[in-house]
Structure 1
Amino acid sequence: EGSGEWKERGTGEMRLLKEKKSGRVRALMRQEKTLKIIANHYVVENGPYCSLKPNAGSEKCWVWMANDYAEGEQRTEQFALKFGNPDLAKAFEKAFNEAKQENADIISGEKAVKKEAEKKDEKDEEKKDE
């Protein structure tokens, strides 16, 4: 660890999955042969996390950091994902950024609902005091 070298976790298909209950989107990737989870994190709009950057100027490779749960507990990891061609990389960037926005909208909606509930509780308390 800490050698600054890239460690290949494997090849496979990166999926952006929407949770049925919360609607939040996470990135999940399994190793092609073993099906072991090699990436599992929410796609968040919270720099520096999930900020896609081209790797060494390549049009086919994205790098980003995330709080990952592939090993079962949270670890900040840096990922590099290489595609077969630039069009696939562009399509991934678009889907990834849309997922970030969806999650940001859900989180801000949850905050608004919570704030509204707190206001209602305060008004209820004021009425009790009268």
Structure 2
Amino acid sequence: MIRRAKLFQFDAASSEWKERGTGDVRLLVHKETKKMRQNLEGLHKLLRCVTFFLSADMRLQPNIGSDPSWAWKVAAEYSETPPTSETLAI
């Protein structure tokens, strides 16, 4: 499944949403382990904006103040080194 989307990251220091990038969101499944991950690659950059594994404890919540937006917490986001815990919205 591929969808065009804009990704935001919540910055706790400034208490505001910051844009991470716009691009194609893909849900990918590993052929052997069957683990699923989400990947968003930027449109104008050849870099990965976000990649993380989906887990059973993740909960999509409507993003207050934005009708078509959803937010969730990620335990380990791998597009940056080292992996970090993030709150994301799409």
TM-score for the superposition, normalised by structure 1: 0.55
Q: Does 1:40 align with 2:51?
A: yes
The one-letter code sitting in structure 2 at the alignment partner of 1:51 is: R
* Alpha-carbon shift at residue 59 of structure 1 (Å): 4.0
* Alpha-carbon shift at residue 79 of structure 1 (Å): 0.8
Cross-structure match for 1:84: none
Q: What runs of 5+ residues in structure 2 fail to find an aligned partner?
A: 1-10
Cross-structure match for 1:127: none
Cross-structure match for 2:21: 10
C-alpha distance in 2 between matches for 1:4 and 1:35? 29
C-alpha distance in 2 between matches for 1:78 and 1:34? 22
**CA RMSD, aligned part only?**
1.5
In our comparison, the structure showing a higher alpha carbon Rg is 1
Name the structure with the higher strand share: 2
C-alpha distance in 2 between matches for 1:72 and 1:19? 22
C-alpha distance in 2 between matches for 1:71 and 1:45? 23
Cross-structure match for 2:62: 54
C-alpha distance in 1 between matches for 2:28 and 2:81? 18
**Higher RCO (CA 8 Å, separation ≥ 6 residues):** 2
The one-letter code sitting in structure 2 at the alignment partner of 1:29 is: L
Q: Does 1:70 align with 2:70?
A: no
TM-score for the superposition, normalised by structure 2: 0.77
Q: What runs of 5+ residues in structure 1 fail to find an aligned partner?
A: 82-130
Identical pairs, percent: 33
* Alpha-carbon shift at residue 31 of structure 1 (Å): 1.1
Residue-pair matches, total = 78
Name the structure with the higher helix share: 1
